[in-house]
Amino acid sequence: MTLLGVILLGVCFTSKPGNLKAADDSFFWISATGDLRGEIKPCGCSTDGDMGGLLRRATYLKQMRSSHESVVYLDLGNNFPVPSEQGRLKVDLIQKAMLELRPDAILVGPNELLYERPLLNQNLPYFLSNLRGDWLVKKSLFVAAGEKRVGLWGYLSPAQIYQNKHEELDVFPVSSQFIEDLQKQLEETHPDFAVLMFRGDEKELQKFEKSQLFDLIITGSNNDDELNQILEMKTSEGSFISIPTKGQGAFHGRVDLNNKKKVNLELDWFLAKYEDDQKMMAYFDVYDQSVQALFFSNLDRMEKHELEAPYAGEETCKTCHIVQHQIWSTSRHSNAFATLENVNKHFDLECLQCHVVGLQKEGFLSPELTPKLLNVQCENCHGPGKAHSSNPKIRTPNAAVKEVCSSCHQGSHSPKFDYSLYYPKIAH
Give the interface with ligand HEC as residue ranges (CB under 6 A). Answer: 43-46, 312, 314, 316-317, 319-321, 324-325, 328, 332-333, 335-336, 339-340, 343, 345, 348, 350-351, 353-355, 376-382, 385, 388-389, 392, 395-396, 401-402, 404-405, 407-410, 413-414, 417, 419, 422-423, 425-426, 428
Between 254 and 402, name the residue whose CB sits nearer to ligand HEC. 402
Between 23 and 338, name the residue whose CB sits nearer to ligand HEC. 338
Residue 34 beta carbon to ligand HEC: minimum distance, rounded to whole angstroms: 21
Residue 106 beta carbon to ligand HEC: minimum distance, rounded to whole angstroms: 24
Between 239 and 353, name the residue whose CB sits nearer to ligand HEC. 353
Backbone angles phi, psi at 244, to 5 degrees: -60, 145
Between 22 and 387, name the residue whose CB sits nearer to ligand HEC. 387
Residue 163 beta carbon to ligand HEC: minimum distance, rounded to whole angstroms: 23
Between 120 and 336, name the residue whose CB sits nearer to ligand HEC. 336
Residue 371 beta carbon to ligand HEC: minimum distance, rounded to whole angstroms: 16
Could you tell me if 278 and 50 are in contact, meaning their C-beta atoms sit under 8 angstroms apart?
A: no
Distances in Å between the alpha carbon of 123 and those of 34, 51, 98, 102, 120?
Answer: 18, 28, 10, 10, 9
Between 252 and 325, name the residue whose CB sits nearer to ligand HEC. 325
Between 250 and 340, name the residue whose CB sits nearer to ligand HEC. 340
Q: How far is CA 424 from the centre of its chain?
A: 33
Between 140 and 375, name the residue whose CB sits nearer to ligand HEC. 375
Residue 411 beta carbon to ligand HEC: minimum distance, rounded to whole angstroms: 7
Residue 225 beta carbon to ligand HEC: minimum distance, rounded to whole angstroms: 14
Residue 305 beta carbon to ligand HEC: minimum distance, rounded to whole angstroms: 22
| Single-letter amino acid, residue 221 | S
Give the Cα separation of 381 and 427 in Å (integer).
13
The backbone region for 268, taken as left when phi is positive above 0, alpha when psi lies in -120 to 50, beta otherwise, is beta
Burial per residue of 83-104, b for 16 or more beta-carbon CB atoms within 10 angstroms, e otherwise: beebbebbbebbbbbbeebebb
Residue 198 beta carbon to ligand HEC: minimum distance, rounded to whole angstroms: 31
Burial per residue of 241-279, b for 16 or more beta-carbon CB atoms within 10 angstroms, e otherwise: bbbbbbbbbbbbbebebeebeebebebbbbbeebebbee
Between 263 and 404, name the residue whose CB sits nearer to ligand HEC. 404
Give the Cα separation of 195 and 104 in Å (integer).
12
Residue 339 beta carbon to ligand HEC: minimum distance, rounded to whole angstroms: 3
Give pairs for 367-375: CB < 8 Å, separation 24+. Answer: 367/337, 369/299, 369/303, 370/309, 372/311, 372/313, 372/314, 372/315, 373/309, 373/311, 373/313, 374/336, 374/337, 375/314, 375/333, 375/334, 375/335, 375/336, 375/337, 375/338
Give the Cα separation of 355 and 407 in Å (integer).
12
Could you tell me if 364 and 373 are in contact, meaning their C-beta atoms sit under 8 angstroms apart?
A: yes
